[in-house]
Each structure stands twice: as C-alpha cells, then as structure tokens.
Amino acid sequence: MTKRSDEPFGEAENEAAGESDELSDLLLNHIFDFAEQQGIAQEMLPSLLMRLSVTLHMIHYVALVAKPSAGGLKRDLERFQRDADDLVREMKKDAERIVAESKKAMTEAGEDET
C-alpha cells in the first residue's frame, strides 16, 4: 500500500502511534488516580515523573547491557536526553493547538457539570 502524501506515517506507524497514545492515556489516568490517593499536588507530578523516567531508563540500561559501565550509562543518558529534547521540541510545535483544545475541553466539561 502506498502512503498518501497527507499521511505522515505508514499504516504500521499510525497503528503503533495509536497504541502508544492509548497506553499513554491509560497510564496518565493511573498517575492522576495515584496522585489523588497520595495527596500529591499536580504541579509536583512532572518532576517526579521525569526522575522516575530517568531512573527506569538507567535500570533498563544496567539490566540489558552485557557489560554495563559508568561511561556507557553516561552515553546512554546523553542519548536519552537528546530524545527528550526532541520530544519537547515536537510538543512545542503543537503548543497553540494543545492550549486551544484544552480550553475547549475544560469549557465543555464545565458546561456538562451545570
């Protein structure tokens, strides 16, 4: 199947992105539930999750590399940082759309509650 010019990814990539989005939504709901149960302020969540993400990445490196080393971990963390920087750059491109959609959703949720 040929890729249409208006489709940025092929069918397999779109399916993987959809599954990733679905998993992200499920995890986010669990995180919000956990934060509420533990009395964690939402403004603390990004830094807690960033630390957790880096920790998980380090554990992954040490567990899967045949001969882990401090130098290897540092290089792996540098790659991880570049990937995170790329992700933030991509998110910044969608900032206007994200804010507009969020405002609309909050307005609709407020209307639904009244």
Q: Is residue 89 over pLDDT 90?
A: yes
- The model carries a pTM of 0.70
Q: Is residue 113 over pLDDT 70?
A: no
pLDDT tens, residue by residue, 3-62: 444 444 456 666 767 788 899 999 999 999 999 999 999 999 999 999 999 999 999 999
DSSP 69-110: -HHHHHHHHHHHHHHHHHHHHHHHHTHHHHHHHHHHHHHHHH
What is the CB neighbour count within 10 angstroms for residue 14? 13
Q: Is residue 2 over pLDDT 50?
A: no
